[in-house]
Amino acid sequence: MNIWVVNPFDQLPNESDVPLRYWSLCRTFAEQGHSVIWWSSDFAHLSKTKRESCEDVDGFSIRLVKTPAYTKNISLARLRNHKCFAEGFLHDAIAGLESGELNAPDRIIVSLPPLGVAESAFQIRDHLIKIESRKLTVGHTNLTSPCEVVVDIMDAWPEVFYQVLPKPMRKYLGPIVFSTMHRRAKRAYLGADKISGVGQSYLDLAKRYLQSQTKMRKSLTEESPRQKPLYLCYHGTDLSRFDRKNNFDKDTSYQVVSTLNQPINNSIRAIERSQNIPLRAVYLGSMGSGYDLQTIIDTARLWKNENIFPFQIHFAGVGPQLEMLKARCKDLGLLTSTEASGYVTRGKTLDSVSGLAPSISRVVFHGYLRKDAISELLLSAHIALVANRPDSLVACPYKAGEYAAASLPMISCLGGELGQLLEKWKAGTEYLEGNSESLYFAFQRYSNNKTLEQHSSNALDLAEELFDRDRTYLDLAKFILS
């Protein structure tokens, strides 16, 4: 088949060595022998810079649509960017089809957000249907299969924008203020041939849109509309990246070593706890305002005030909050003098296993890390932190798959779907956003080695069941192509 994947947000292969959802999906289709084009924007969402063109990789090609820049994620400039992307995709696609440069797609997979792009895909589908209809009227026998559009829900839009409204009024003002965006979301769900999503909560949201339309139709006719095929596929990750033996056998330029200079396993964890050596808690991801990072720093401050050192906090990532958090840690005495002025690029070891060296930081900032370094950092850790704020409406973030694959229990303030998964699988615990005492007690839960080891094992079971891309993306591809 000819398959088009449309998403402007994920990093391209020349921007990262960690494949995200759409790179992984394109690669899956290409490995099955399909012809694949990934349509993206020439403006990079993460770095807020113009993109370089990306050569064909992993058997698929990438086409960039010209769009204007924006600096803030929630802004009119970003909405203008999305409008230009939707219009540019439609224009470039139709032009390519009419000139013969592009073959007609059999499937178009469109991410939501951005709003409006699905409508462009529907227009392309309608254009192809008209071509086939003309062939039929002149007795043409070489007809192609109809193009199908699959909407893949990545985020709850426009519901996520409710957070800019006063909290008490969100329920009432949101549907009014964002009524135009709600109509576009409804058109996307109604027009899609199939719907997939990275969280069950997103599919439930789509169902509510569809059910509201179903009730209206039933009031006009006795005929029930056809059920829309829905499919859940979490972001997931490449589990082989976190194979402990393979990673620690490699000779790499970056290595985060354990306190005892050995790969972490349950016996090492037991020794570290019995010798009162701090365990490692890691936060991986963006350092933006949508994350409850200050509470993590405040918890490290509580430990310092009590003269205890149960966990060393590791941050890996960049973003607007980074310099502020580093300055805060420096003021609180949570950094060593050598680390206060820059990033740490190598793991630190204690001077001895019998006591704590005064030069060891309570908080470590690694900055941006490449794939191997991320894997090694996670494999050297004991606990992982999910600091997405609950009002972000994130269902299950990318980092949850990587944490689970590295066998790390999660401490999360996100709640919602991830909170339910952690509770069901006994693979983590939750704390209240903005409450350092709540986070303090969540950490304390893992002072029991037995709980730590059991939740660690359960996290890996969770990863193998729900986050293994080698299996889950094959199933997603099957759903899309069936």
Give the model confidence (pLDDT) of 368-385 as tens digits: 888 889 999 999 999 999
Q: Would you place residue 339 in the very low, low, confident or very high pLDDT band (cuts 50, 70, 90)?
A: very low
Query: For position 256, what pLDDT does the model report?
Result: 37
pTM: 0.84
Domains of the chain listed by start with CATH number:
2-236+470-481 (3.40.50.2000), 240-466 (3.40.50.2000)
Q: Provide the pLDDT for residue 345.
A: 35
Residue 258, H or E segment: none
Are the beta carbons of 161 and 181 closer than 8 angstroms? yes
Q: Which amino acid is at 30?
A: A
Q: How many residues make up the chain in this entry? A: 482
pLDDT in tens, 307-337: 999 999 999 998 889 999 999 999 999 987 4
Answer for the pair 6, 121: CB distance below 8 angstroms, yes or no.
yes
Asked if 326 and 340 touch (Cβ cutoff 8 Å), the reply is yes
Is residue 358's pLDDT more than 50?
no
Q: For residues 482 and 468, what is the distance between their CA atoms, to the nearest angstrom? A: 21
Are residues 15 and 26 in contact, defined by beta-carbon separation less than 8 angstroms?
Answer: no
Q: Using N-to-C axis directions, what is the helix angle for 449-466 and 398-405, rounded to 10°?
A: 120
Q: pLDDT at residue 357 above 90?
A: no
Distance CA 228, CA 247 (A): 43
Instruction: Report the relative pairing of strands 43-44 and 49-50 from DSSP bridges.
Output: antiparallel
Instruction: Report which listed range, 70-74, 156-160, 233-237, 342-346, is most confident.
Output: 233-237
When mean pLDDT is compared over 235-249, 250-264, 342-356, 415-429, the highest value belongs to: 415-429
Residue 457: pLDDT band with limits 50, 70, 90? very high
Mean pLDDT for the chain overall: 85
* Amino acid 299: pLDDT: 96
Give the mean pLDDT of 22-33.
97
Please provide residue 118's backbone torsions phi and psi, each rounded to the nearest 5 degrees. -60, -40
Look at residue 220 and tell me whether its pLDDT is greater than 80.
no
As a whole number of angstroms, the distance between CA 67 and CA 89 comes to 10
What pLDDT, in 10s, does the model give residues 143-178? 556 899 999 999 999 998 888 888 888 888 988 988
